[in-house]
Every structure is written in structure tokens, then in C-alpha cells.
Amino acid sequence: MLKTISLGVIGGGQLGSLLCSAAKKLNVKTVVLSDDKEGPAQHFCDKFIYSKYDDNVKVREFISKVDIVTYEFENIPVDFLNLIQKEKKVLPSPKINKIAQNRKLEKTFVNELGINTTDWVYIRSAEDIKKNQHLLPGILKSNTLGYDGKGQFVLNSLDDIQKDWCFTKDYILEKKVDLKKEISVVIARYSDGTMSSYEPIENVHKNQILFKSKIPAKISDKIFKEAINNAKKIAESLSYTGVLTVEFFLTKNDRLLVNELAPRFHNSGHLTIEAFNISQFTAHVRAVCNLESKSIKKISNAEMYNILGHEILDYKKKIFKKNEFFYDYQKKEPREGRKMGHITILKD
């Protein structure tokens, strides 16, 4: 009989939870390492270890209990991943974390593959911004550790530079894109090089937080193909194993630009749970655990809406139709702007 695989998952949020649920259906056991005691994945995994990255005893316990390690978010110290890698395989390979954690490295990497991004420059001081006024109106983004628009400042003109900014951190300044729309491509690559992609998903953000995702994306065939080809090129160049998400901007002039990479399943891919033969989570587990590759096929069109903060309270009382799939992440505190759940609606 085959030994049951034990998959280590770093991070205990909603993405980790959904990954654990998918693993369970594949008979893969999950051990979650979370630095958040309240991490909702504890309700979905086989074992939950609450630990900081520097708690040697707990980390050793985690390593001893797993065959392979993956993660639900990219901002994990690369040294920590490399430490684990000495004993157990970490997939996707930590070299992608180094790139995806750092906007400068990420954009450089993408540009070197011959793929366009918005114009950007690395910023260390207010003086650097003044020298690059051609990028205004622009968005100043902290070079590391941003998510859901955190660490971002819109600069319409030099007057928006605050006097008290002391640039102790580094930033990049990006030209503000005249957006027609945003799309994402979620792609799975297996270690034997097999790749299978979901179709591009159209995304609407509100206050820089994903509000809605839908398929089909209203884009031309040319953009459809270009987006998938770019995602494949990126995955291939990294000899990537697992699910990778590429976020794109489509400009008003129909130029496709890469916004950022996520070396993981993605909020915009939640609709894959119901709308495809296998979800992004199942695809990820299959790829990192080296299970047989499976090609991705659409079952239905769909829309997904994030449920933020206190909105969850109304949803909990609702009765849903047959084509509506509600997820409650079981987070304790419905803080403002916090992702509390989502709903996917299947469409004709």
C-alpha cells in the first residue's frame, strides 16, 4: 500500500484552509505551521502547530511530521525556507519567494523575460522621485511586504510627497496605468514540466482589495492567449512546481502588462473550486506532492465576490440558491476590510 503523504503548509489563513480541504479529498494529510494562534486553518487541517519562525522546538516538530512543505503566502523569510529545505523539499522552490517578496527583483525578472510591466524605478529618497517625475501620476509601493494595497501611496504630483517621509525603507515608483481592466492567470506546473492553465479571470478591485472575479473575462482572443503564454513562460523559466498566479493589467490601449506574481493559489482563483474539474488548490496539492498531472477543464462560468468585515454577519443568516456557494473562513474577528469569506455564483 502507498504511504499517505503528509504535506506541511506554512500559514494558517483562508488560503491554507482551502488548501487543506482540497488535500483531504486527495487523501493527503496536512500539518499547518502558523504564527497566528487563531489561524482559521486549524479547523481544516489534520494537525495545527502554532509557532513563531524562531521557535526551534516547534519548527523541528513540524519538519519531522511532514514529507513536503508548501506555503499559502510568499512573504516568509527565505532563510527560514532554506533551513527547512535542508531536510524536506519546499515547493514552489524558495528561489521564487526571493523574487516575489521584492518588487524590484520581481519586475526586473519579468522584464528580463521580455514581458512588459508598467514603467517603474527603484526609489531610495525623495530626490529619486523628483528625478523621475515622468512616472507621475504614479504609485509609490514599499519594495517588500505589501498586500491588499498596504504600503502604497498615490502620487499625483511632487506635492504629494510628505515632508515626514524619511525613506528608511526602499520603494518602487510605478507609473499609474490607465486601466481598462485587470486579469489574472492561474497555472499549474508539475515537476515533469507538464503545464495546465485556467482561463484568464477578470478582476475588479475596490480600495485596492479584490472585490469581484469572473469568468469568462471580457478580453480578445489575442489577450487571452498572450496572458496564458506569459504565465507559461514565467513558470517554465523558473522550472516551477505548483500553482502560480500572474496578475496582469490591461491598459486602455490594449497593452498587457504584468502587475505581480504570486507563487501560489490566489484569491481570484477561488471560483475554480466550483467552475472547473479540479480547483487551484487540488492542482497545487497534486503538483507539489508529485501526483499524476491532470488537465484543467471548465465546467461552468462563474463570479466570485469577497466578503469583507462585518458583511459576513448577514451572509451567515442567508439562504443560498443551488448555484451559490458560500464560504465562511471562520475567522474570529470581523475587522474592517478583512477577508472573512467569499461566495461563488455559477453562471450559464
User: Based on CB atoms, which residue is closest to ligand ADP, 199 or 247?
Assistant: 247
Q: Which of 179, 192, 193, 295 binds ligand ADP (CB under 6 A)?
A: 179
User: Based on CB atoms, which residue is closest to ligand ADP, 23 or 186?
Assistant: 186
User: Based on CB atoms, which residue is closest to ligand ADP, 8 or 13?
Assistant: 13
Site for ligand ADP in 244-263 (CB under 6 A): 247, 259-260
To the nearest 10 degrees (0 to 180), the angle between helices 14-25 and 280-288 is: 70
| CA-based max dimension of the chain | 68
337 binds ligand ADP (CB under 6 A): no
Least distance in angstroms from the C-beta of 134 to ligand ADP: 14
Site for ligand ADP in 207-226 (CB under 6 A): 208
Least distance in angstroms from the C-beta of 115 to ligand ADP: 15
User: Based on CB atoms, which residue is closest to ligand ADP, 72 or 174?
Assistant: 174
Least distance in angstroms from the C-beta of 22 to ligand ADP: 23
Q: Give the per-residue SS3 of the chain.
A: CCCCCEEEEECCCHHHHHHHHHHHHCCCEEEEEECCCCCHHHHCCCEEEECCCCCHHHHHHHHHHCCEEEECCCCCCHHHHHHHHCCCEECCCHHHHHHHCEHHHHHHHHHHCCCCCCCEEEECCHHHHHHCHHHCCEEEEECECCCCCCCEEEECCHHHCCCCCCCCCCEEEEECCCEEEEEEEEEEECCCCCEEECCCEEEEEECCEEEEEEECCCCCHHHHHHHHHHHHHHHHHCCCCEEEEEEEEEECCCCEEEEEEECCCCHHHHHHHHHECCCHHHHHHHHHCCCCCCCCCECCEEEEEEEECCHHHHHHHCCCCCCEEEEECCCCCCCCCCEEEEEEEEEC
Least distance in angstroms from the C-beta of 146 to ligand ADP: 4
User: Based on CB atoms, which residue is closest to ligand ADP, 88 or 255?
Assistant: 255
Least distance in angstroms from the C-beta of 177 to ligand ADP: 4
Least distance in angstroms from the C-beta of 250 to ligand ADP: 11
Least distance in angstroms from the C-beta of 12 to ligand ADP: 20
Site for ligand ADP in 180-199 (CB under 6 A): 182
CA–CA dist 186, 293 (Å, integer): 15
Residue closest to ligand ADP (Cβ): 177
Least distance in angstroms from the C-beta of 205 to ligand ADP: 4
Site for ligand ADP in 138-177 (CB under 6 A): 139, 146-149, 174, 176-177
User: Based on CB atoms, which residue is closest to ligand ADP, 17 or 259?
Assistant: 259
Q: Which residues bind ligand ADP (CB under 6 A)?
A: 118, 139, 146-149, 174, 176-177, 179, 182, 205, 208, 247, 259-260
